[in-house]
Chains A and B, each alone.
Chain A
Amino acid sequence: RKEVEQDPGPFNVPEGATVAFNCTYSNSASQSFFWYRQDCRKEPKLLMSVYSSGNEDGRFTAQLNRASQYISLLIRDSKLSDSATYLCVVNMETGGFKTIFGAGTRLFVKA
């Protein structure tokens, strides 16, 4: 079983749609959680951190459920520019620092 698993995608949605991505992690020692965005042939860029209380940044909302070891990202009113791969990321520090990326979920937003 992979340590961080994401919806395989791809997701094809029209402009203006709401889309949700799911991510699960297997190690209960995981401490911090993030969503990164990666455009084709580019480096990943931080989208937002994820907190248990939930957090929102404009059209983006992230949620963490530690009991279920589940992370989500909701994008409202999708724009063409949201087309990218969304990476779920988990950090832990057990016997050394470790960052684990999910395989990513590809999103295509169409006009």
Chain B
Amino acid sequence: DAGVTQSPTHLIKTRGQHVTLRCSPISGHKSVSWYQQVLGQGPQFIFQYYEKEERGRGNFPDRFSARQFPNYSSELNVNALLLGDSALYLCASSLTTGTNEKLFFGSGTQLSVL
């Protein structure tokens, strides 16, 4: 069975540009969440979506947005990129939403903003 897949694996952008990251959850999983991980730190929660509805949002500016599609895949969009947005962006899927749900992570998209 395929795990969580993310694309692209690496991306280089310049300040002010826009970026779209994509995630396909494990088959049968209906919830997707997004995280930003800077080197040397733990992942920071950005969003959780379940059944196309936003269920949670972390402390990120409005430049960050996301959506979930009917097939449960998801996109993370970041506008007006800043140097500080350079990080590993991780997507995780879970069967449903809820605090007891176990997260299964993709291998991430490494974003570099120059």
Contacts and interface: CB of A to CB of B under 8 A. Distances in A.
Contact of A102 (B42, B58, B90, B97): B42
A92 B97 CA distance: 11
A31 to B, nearest CB: 4
Nearest to B105: A43
Nearest to A46: B102
Contacts of A42: 107
Contacts of A100: 45
B8 to A, nearest CB: 15
A87 interface: yes
B103 interface: yes
Contacts, number: 61
A27 to B, nearest CB: 12
B41 A43 contact: no
Interface string A56-99: 00000000000000000000000000000001000111001111
Interface of A: 4, 31-32, 34, 36, 42-46, 49, 87, 91-93, 96-104
Given A4-B42, A103-B41, A104-B41, 20 more contacts: A31-B99, A43-B107, A44-B90, A44-B103, A46-B103, A49-B100, A91-B100, A92-B99, A93-B56, A96-B57, A97-B55, A97-B56, A97-B97, A98-B45, A99-B35, A99-B45, A99-B56, A101-B45, A103-B40, A104-B42
